[in-house]
Amino acid sequence: MRNGYLFAAYAVTWIIHITYLGSIVRRYARLKSEIEQLKK
């Protein structure tokens, strides 16, 4: 049962990091497509 906490801690860590990285990737992709639009 205690090891549930261990798993939770590691999982939360990566959820936070992946979410943040994901937001960066998403915004970057959106900017790139915006630039493509501007170039037209």
> What SS3 class is residue 15?
helix
| 2 or 40: CB nearest other proteins | 2
Contacts with other proteins in 16-35 (CB under 8 A)? 16-17, 20-21, 24-25, 27-28, 31-32, 34-35
Per rule CB under 8 A, is residue 13 in the interface with other proteins? yes
d(CA 31, CA 27): 6
| 38 or 40: CB nearest other proteins | 38
Per rule CB under 8 A, is residue 36 in the interface with other proteins? no
